[in-house]
Structure 1
């Protein structure tokens, strides 16, 4: 019973602080009340308040500064986040027909290596699909969706709409992280992409968050000789 009560109080504090930020009541730069004050206000432990503030920080709504407190972030902070590209649009920009095929779609328990910042025991939807440019594999997508944040994904049919496009319609993300690196294709990647093992590949790993917490962790693997990343930017103001 206590666990349920704590979860309800956590959600109440989260919703109230988020509402004040989104509504503009707490403007960018506003210092959030200290943990001890919020704990006294809501009649809860500092640990509960700390978890709420950590979640808001991951969602990009506040910035936590050591010894100074927590502050509402400036909107331009998100300008550093890379765009979330539509793979279908990428393929069509090459004047090639686009299609994709789902090879795996299961719900399962969270594992430690899932990189979702969630406790073990919760549920995720695991989806693997291959995107095609014409008849040639273009990209391998390996995605996990946090079902506590997006419960609709448990019964979603991804045969008509790719997971990334589906998620953008369901959940507005507030923060994202990209990790980009080179990788030698293993057996799974080689088979899916029609390339030899150890072929150089470009990997883009993306994690996204909403105010409800971690939404998805996805890994896109491209054959290295078929893809490039381009970033356009302006001088900082």
Structure 2
């Protein structure tokens, strides 16, 4: 790999040109490795800025390896689940599973806000990320924030939605489709009530606020692969 990178360092003077030139020469397996390492480096940069956490080179490479292994495993499982039979006659026994979900634009006149929470093991904090895009798919606003102390995954995802709803209200936007990759959060927002735990309290607050100030907005579940902001 270094034999390919070394000549590019003299040919180009910026990282994007080096990366895109490199991607044109690599095999699919090599591209997967490079992309996951770049993603892990980007995450390390965000942790440094947001949480003042410095990842070692070993941590960055290990995170990239786990990410790539998880991605490959998920795609193998989806490939096994995706039926090959024709879908010309849809029925309850012939359900096609989308093995490659993609983000979709909102309807004309609406916005879409994708939300996610992160739970780094090296710090007692939870990170929230949210991104707003319009009906043309154009980026409108993004926000990254931290919450202390650390909490359960369900509570963290609920808090992320709660902050996103209030952020949208502060921006004075309406007609917003909130997308989360936590099915429990989406199901509780749309159907649930009566949970007396911290999770239920946060979700009830989000639902009440949305019903009061964002009456033409709603929350949807989306698979994690299509929730990249």
Please indicate the TM-score interval, normalised by the length of the shorter structure: under 0.3
TM-score, structure 2 length as denominator? 0.28
